Amino acid sequence: MSENTVNQTLGEMPESAILARIFPRLPSSDATIVGPGDDCAVMQAPDGRFVVTTDMMVHGPDFRLEWSTPHQLGIKAAATNLSDVAAMGAKPTGMVVSIAAPKDTEVTFLEQIADGFHDACLELAPGCGVVGGDLSVSNTLTISVTAFGDLEGRQPLLRSGARPGDVVAVTGRLGLAGLGLAALFAGEKDTTNPLLLSAQLSPWPPISQGVAGALGGATSAMDISDSLIMDAGRIAGASGVVIVLDESALDDLAAHLAIECGVDASHARQAILYGGEDHALLMTFPADVALPPGFTALGHVVACADDETPHVNMGEGVLPENGWNPYTGWNGEIS
């Protein structure tokens, strides 16, 4: 392939030729019956049910090209959808990916995004792959993903299943992505701990722990994408309960994060509570069930008192629901 061919842009090639370069780089799905090439893919659904989620990443509010490589964009787009499937206790099986990009975008850019999807699926959800999608032209680079998962005969994990007496637990890291985002906004990319940048730009959430939690007796779950407090509050609201976080457990996590990343403990604690985008999994378990390996207890669930609104608290105080809002941006307290 000549250099001129390699560097062709989207506006210089027909869609069929672009797809012919991209599809061989994408991961295949073990659940595929009919793959890309027809009007629809056909996938197996052995359980008779499947979970489905969709997420859109738009240049500006969701990512910035001055921060992210196209390979990192592919990883992040895959990971954020896979974590939602995992939060339902399902095994990811496939994705469809649509990309709208400026017409002067080089096709190699899309190939690198495809490589990111390939690597994310290979490492995070073996057997899951991209089974189709769409390409279009837009002044704003946009990546939209719809992901599917197999419940394998289990009931889905819902946000509404938490019950008084349950233990609140998390699997995955908290605070890293929030600290990474704060550093990027501060213009400190070149001097920031690479661990923080990786957590923000190319996250590797604990996808397999979704099934592990379901098998371990979890009563509710969700992906922590906006912040621990906001997402715990969503479980509390859906379940009609109060989630009480253990201050000492949070202090232990903050102390470890502070040492690992070279920040003060109060800074680390704010990142854990309000940072978001780590895509850890938050679950509740009955108190008489041993937590599966990889889960850390963070608190417990109590019933709402008379006239009390579901919320999250720690110690004696109700915690403000700060975190990431796609319409207003980040409203946490990390600086």
45: its two tokens: 């659904």
Pick the closest to residue 206 from 156, 170, 254, 250 (CA basis): 170
Q: Is 288 flagged in the annotation as binding?
A: no
The helix (run of H) or strand (run of E) holding residue 115 is helix 107-124
167: its two tokens: 């233990």
Q: Is 49 flagged in the annotation as binding?
A: no
Residue with tokens 């392939």: 1
The CA-atom distances, in angstroms, between 312 and each of 12, 152, 262, 289, 303 are 53, 32, 28, 23, 12
Q: Is 53 flagged in the annotation as binding?
A: yes
Rounded CA-CA distance 334/258 in Å is: 13
Q: Is 166 flagged in the annotation as binding?
A: no
Pick the closest to residue 320 from 288, 273, 265 (CA basis): 273
Q: Is 104 flagged in the annotation as binding?
A: no
Q: Is 306 flagged in the annotation as binding?
A: no
Residue with tokens 């309000």: 274
Q: Is 284 flagged in the annotation as binding?
A: no
Handedness of CA 117, 278, 290, 252 (dihedral sign): positive
Q: Is 84 flagged in the annotation as binding?
A: yes
Q: Is 159 flagged in the annotation as binding?
A: yes
Rounded CA-CA distance 57/140 in Å is: 11
Q: Which amino acid is at 44?
A: Q
Q: Is 198 flagged in the annotation as binding?
A: no
124: its two tokens: 């995070």
Q: Is 54 flagged in the annotation as binding?
A: yes
* 3-class DSSP assignment, residue 297: strand
Cβ-based burial of 11 (10 A; exposed 0-12, middle 13-18, buried ≥19) = exposed
The helix (run of H) or strand (run of E) holding residue 147 is strand 142-150
Q: Is 231 flagged in the annotation as binding?
A: no
Residue numbers in the known binding site for ATP are 133-134, 159, 225
* Residues annotated in a binding site for Mg(2+): 39, 53-55, 84, 134, 223, 226
Q: Annotated binding site for substrate, which residues?
A: 62, 277, 324
List, as residue ranges, the binding site: 39, 53-55, 62, 84, 133-134, 159, 223, 225-226, 277, 324
